[in-house]
Structure 1
Amino acid sequence: MAAYILRRVISTIAVMAMVGIFVFLLLRLAPGDPAALIAGDLATPDMIASIREQLGLNEPLPVQFMHWALSIVNGNFGTSIFTGYPVLQLISQRLEPTISLSFLTLVLSVSTGLILGIVAAWRAGSLIDRVLTAFAALGFSIPVFVVGYFLIYWFAISLHWLPVQGYAPLSHGFGQWFVQLILPTLALSVPYIAYFARITRASMLEVLSEDYMRTAAAKGASPYAMLFHHALKNAGVPILTVIGMSFAYLVSGVVIVETVFNIPGVGRLVVDAINNRDYPIIQGVLILVSGLYVLINLAVDLAYTLIDPRIRY
């Protein structure tokens, strides 16, 4: 087990090193002079030279990378060119809305998707299975922003049940915080519920057809024990893989939903940074999101060993 964990940690470090190189070169390999892009069309040569000096673009590329990597390790993600504030400070100010939306989306998507997938597999071929399968195909096909605008029109504009846009911090009260996040969470959860339901159904059907499941049924095992104790545990590896991989799609979905519902989160910060060509913010967010994604995949890999001990060897 220790050797397996060590191998996974070493591979994680290697992946993060490659991600760091890519993010570093993202600015340097952009078409044209990055300093000229940041300065704008009306910039003077002196302004461009000042920005190049500020970004350290006058130094050799290996030296630039070493300075940048050391600053990242020390927790210094640079300074926003547009606002002049530290990048890490700007990101930390936007974390609560993004974490809140992501957390509620994962809880709703995983719990609902698993239940729908298990029910569809248990009643395979029935009307319930066909309805759930149709919902999964439809839900995974509709873009997130379409779902978001539909929910806004129906529940906020037509019925006046929920607010249209905005975000209420948790410090303003749990009720107001939760109400503001209902529509964004539903909009972001629909494709993930459909995706998790499809994968859970396929994995459960494969396990339910095994001989040991028929043996358990012949011995009088209850449906609950067969589904959750035997089938779900043995179908857990592909389901857990999909949940871990979905984090990358969740990041892109958060950017869209925060824009649609005017939520001041990290996604909106990235959109504004792209519009303002604020490369330090883009690089900082990419590093943090990539690091979190790599850590989640490491946690998923280690969780495999709890579900299937054979993976350790």
Structure 2
Amino acid sequence: MGTYILRRMVSTIAVMAVVGVFVFLLLRLAPGDPAAIIAGKSATAEMIAGIRNKFGLNDPMPVQFVRWVWDLLGGDLGTSIFAGRPVLELISQRLEPTLSLSILTMIFAVTVGVSFGIVAAWRTGAFADRLLSVFAALGYSVPVFVIGYFLIYVFAIRTHWLPVQGYAPINNGIGLWFVHLIMPTLALGLGYIAFIARIARASMLEVLSEDYMRTAAAKGVSSYAMLFHHALKNAGVPILTVIGLSFAGLISGVVITETVFNIPGVGRLVVDAINNRDYPIIQGVLILVSGLYVLINLAVDLSYTLVDPRIRY
């Protein structure tokens, strides 16, 4: 077990090192002078020279990389070009809406998706199974922004049940906070529900067809015990894997969803930074998101040992 955890930790550090090199080279390998890219088309030679001095672009590449890594280890993600404030400060101000939307979406998608998959596998060929197939096809094919605008039209414009856009901080009241996140969570979560449900159904069907499951049914084991104490645990590894993979898609989905619903989160911060060519913000967000993604995948890998003890050895 200790060896397995150590291997996963080493691979995680290696992945983050590769990500760090890529993020560092993102600006340096762009066509043209990085300082000119940052300054914009209307910049003068003096402005470009000032930017090169400010960001140390006149130094050799290895020196720049070591300095950048050293700043990262000290918690310094750089300073925004346009806001003139630390990138970490700007991200922390936008973190609550993004975390709220991401956590609610994952809870919603995992709970509903796994439940749908279990029911469809247990009643394979029945109405619930066919309904899941239709829902999964729609979830895969319809983009997030289409679902978002449809929900806005139905629940905000036509019925006035929910607010059109915006975000209410949680300290303004959990009720108001939750109401503003209902439509974004639905829009972002439907595709992941379909994805998770399909994998859960396939994994459960494979386990339910095993001889030991038929033996348990012949011995009179209850349906609840068969599904949740035996089948679900043995089908857990593929389900946990798809939950980890869903997080990768959630990153891009949050950017689109926050734009559609005008949520002032990290996704909107990235969109604004791209429009303004604010590379320090883009680099800072990439590093943090990549680190979070790697840590979640590490947690998923370690959770395999809970559902499949053979991995420990």
Q: Tell me the TM-score normalized by structure 1.
A: 0.99
Check the 8 A contact 1:164/1:261 in 2, yes or no: yes
Does residue 77 of the first structure (1) align with residue 77 of the second (2)? yes
Instruction: Give the match for residue 143 of structure 1.
Output: 143
Cα deviation digits, residues 32-68 of structure 1 (max 9, x gap) = 1111111111111110011111111101001100000
Cα deviation digits, residues 103-135 of structure 1 (max 9, x gap) = 110110000001100000001011221111111
Instruction: Give the match for residue 188 of structure 1.
Output: 188
Unaligned runs of 5+ in 1: none
Amino acid across the alignment from 2:239: I
Q: For 2:74 and 2:104, how far apart are their aligned partners in 1?
A: 32
Deviation, structure 1 residue 311: 1.0
Cα deviation digits, residues 170-192 of structure 1 (max 9, x gap) = 01111110101111011001100
Q: Tell me the TM-score normalized by structure 2.
A: 0.99
Check the 8 A contact 1:147/1:187 in 2, yes or no: yes
Over 4 Å off, 4+ runs: none
Instruction: Give the match for residue 218 of structure 1.
Output: 218
Instruction: Give the match for residue 163 of structure 1.
Output: 163
Amino acid across the alignment from 1:195: F
Does residue 100 of the first structure (1) align with residue 100 of the second (2)? yes
Unaligned runs of 5+ in 2: none
Q: How does 1:160-309 map to 2 (within 5 A)?
A: 160-309=160-309
1:102 is paired with a residue whose SS is helix
Instruction: Give the match for residue 312 of structure 1.
Output: 312
Q: CA RMSD in A?
A: 0.6
Amino acid across the alignment from 1:204: M
Cα deviation digits, residues 186-224 of structure 1 (max 9, x gap) = 100110011111010010011110001000000101111
Check the 8 A contact 1:120/1:133 in 2, yes or no: no
Moved more, 132-141 or 21-30: 132-141
Deviation, structure 1 residue 283: 0.3
Percent identity of paired positions between Structure 1 and Structure 2: 76
Q: For 1:166 and 1:31, how far apart are their aligned partners in 2?
A: 37
Instruction: Give the match for residue 126 of structure 2.
Output: 126
1:242 is paired with a residue whose SS is helix
Check the 8 A contact 1:109/1:193 in 2, yes or no: yes
Q: For 1:137 and 1:239, how far apart are their aligned partners in 2?
A: 19
Deviation, structure 1 residue 245: 1.3
Deviation, structure 1 residue 305: 0.7
Q: For 2:92 and 2:43, how far apart are their aligned partners in 1?
A: 31
Instruction: Give the match for residue 91 of structure 1.
Output: 91
How many residue pairs align between the two structures?
A: 313
Deviation, structure 1 residue 139: 1.1
Deviation, structure 1 residue 230: 0.5
Deviation, structure 1 residue 86: 0.2
